[in-house]
A and B are shown apart, each in its own frame.
Chain A
């Protein structure tokens, strides 16, 4: 199966200048030589803690940042080289829904204007056709037709996220980047939005790049899961396999740390020592070695490459 979007050797470094006090200076390796593929109609879930590079990855896919090295191929075309009509087409094909629907919707625009703005920018449609599309989109995301005349502040968080989804759908994209789409919502609303996203994927054949820290939600939504740590993918493979039998010690610790769904659910306790080191100065060798419960002598010298283990790719010297 050919991938819709493919990242090869994708790298993003941010130069950190010297501060006012003359301290610092260096390079943050936010994303460091990662590779993944997203197939049409499928979901790639990305998990990891703060500073692992998942949001930078999303920005690179959205071409809000340019990679330092490596490529993103969308339908076999290098995204970095796109300009003019090619770039416009890419922008139509790849849309985004962000975490905070209070910040991602303009408070001074009515819902009608919010959803139709991309249509007016990208497609030559007459007013009647735009109105019909907006009505159709509101229906698809389960909002009443009268919503179009209201402002974002008149909606709850879950409804606002539906507006953001309608806007993302307006140009019939192929891929939607979902960056923590339910984290800001109330618990009783999250299931509504996750169900809506699943339904839309099935009906419209959408591909998702789903980024979240809620591991159970990622497991529920994803076909493939990539686990990131300090700018690297440490494990990537079939979601069910990664969740049921994580191979990398970090993945194991991450899933062990996830909260249980029932008081009788007891996981093997792997409480990691210490905290995620600064990406300004990642540890030598395997970046996880200072916290790894299974650390070996050569882990601090040689950085492991991704290699096949247990039906997926794992970057660990154990395999």
Chain B
């Protein structure tokens, strides 16, 4: 089976105004995503996860450029497509949900207009047909009284409802891939649970593949089949979600999992990661995590570790991590 999305050796850079300062925001990233599966891309601020998402959609700001690599989506190379070709793909075959629903909806148009706009841009639909479909989509994202809500403006809705509207726009043209960048960060806990359940239901119903960009390992544990952990622009570890949680290979992944408070765990102290995430414009040489790493060896300071296979589908970039011996799975 060929993958829905195949990313290999992808690098993206931000270039300073004079062209002298180059920030490698995404550095040699490779992964694949099968149809209908869910990938979580985890990282802290500055790790390059949002830049990676924008690169996949070819939506990078003018100050950024794609330096190398390939993004194959349904067998087609996206990086060589023209802007007009990309416009026909975005919103139709791949769609995106952003963090702040107030910023991604236009305050001057009704939600019906905004859902219909996408439909009319991609499908040859009449205005009346698009509005009828907009009502169905609002009902599909569990908005009560869609006949009335379809004519409302974004400010008339709560945050949770607006994010549902954004979801309705994203699925309106039946995409194969949905990229969600911190989709629930601005929502309350119970509203977040509602929204994640909705996304899961939509995914099962339509057989969508999803990429969750998040800093929250809980969302990954709840929603994803696979995880990719980013640190300083690199993918430092990737694998099936249970493997990563039970037997993380990279010291950063392990520390991240251990540092989260857990219910019913009466330990006095959390396992903290010392130091600060590095400045993306001034990365340390070698492995970017080495100044904070408890297992650091000399080699880490000078040479960047290669992408190594730990087990089937489990990869990590670390000089110290060895492939886990069989039978040592529960960590």
Contacts and interface: CB of A to CB of B under 8 A. Distances in A.
Nearest to A193: B272
Contacts of B261: 191, 194, 214, 216-217, 219-220
B221 A187 contact: no
Contacts of B242: 263-264
A187 B217 contact: yes
Interface stretch (B132-140, B273-281, B312-320): B273-281
Contacts of A272: 190, 193-194
A243 interface: yes
Given A186-B44, A271-B197, A261 B263 contact: yes
A203 interface: no
A198 B267 CA distance: 11
Interface stretch (B11-19, B22-30, B63-71, B252-260): B252-260
A265 interface: yes
A50 interface: yes
Nearest to A278: B158
A269 B161 CA distance: 21
A77 interface: no
A276 B192 CA distance: 13
A194 B258 CA distance: 14
B190 A49 contact: yes
A219 B192 CA distance: 19
B264 interface: yes
Chain A interface SS verdict (over half): helix
B59 interface: no
A195 interface: yes
Nearest to B274: A192
A306 B272 CA distance: 38
Contact of B192 (A188, A191, A257): A257
A258 interface: yes
Contacts of B269: 195, 198
Interface in A213-260: 213-217, 219-220, 240, 243-244, 253-260
Nearest to A49: B188
Interface in B209-250: 215-222, 224, 241-242, 245
A50 B191 CA distance: 11
Interface in B268-319: 268-274, 276-277, 292
B331 to A, nearest CB: 10
A56 interface: no
A95 interface: no
B259 A190 contact: yes
B269 to A, nearest CB: 5
Nearest to A264: B242
A8 B189 CA distance: 28
A265 B221 contact: yes
Contacts of B276: 156, 158-159, 189
B192 A261 contact: no
Nearest to B225: A263
B189 A213 contact: yes
Interface centre among A188, A217, A254, A272 (most CB of B within 10 A): A188
Nearest to A250: B190
A83 interface: no
A262 interface: yes
B160 interface: yes
A240 B263 CA distance: 9
B262 interface: yes
B264 A188 contact: no
A275 interface: yes
Contacts of A264: 242, 245
Contacts of B277: 156, 186, 188-189
A281 to B, nearest CB: 15
B32 to A, nearest CB: 20
B270 A257 contact: no
B104 interface: no
B45 interface: yes
A271 B193 contact: yes
Nearest to B243: A263
B44 A188 contact: yes
A252 B194 CA distance: 15
A261 B193 contact: no
Contacts of B45: 186
Given A257-B192, A271-B194, A272-B190, A191 B263 contact: no
B84 to A, nearest CB: 39
A214 B219 CA distance: 13
Contacts of B191: 49, 275
Which 5 pairs of residues, A with B, have the shortest CB-CB distance? Answer: A259-B218, A257-B193, A220-B261, A191-B259, A49-B188
Given A186-B277, A187-B256, A259-B221, 7 more contacts: A191-B260, A216-B261, A216-B263, A219-B261, A259-B216, A263-B220, A271-B193
13 contacts: A49-B191, A50-B188, A187-B217, A190-B259, A191-B260, A191-B270, A192-B274, A219-B261, A240-B266, A253-B190, A259-B192, A259-B221, A260-B218
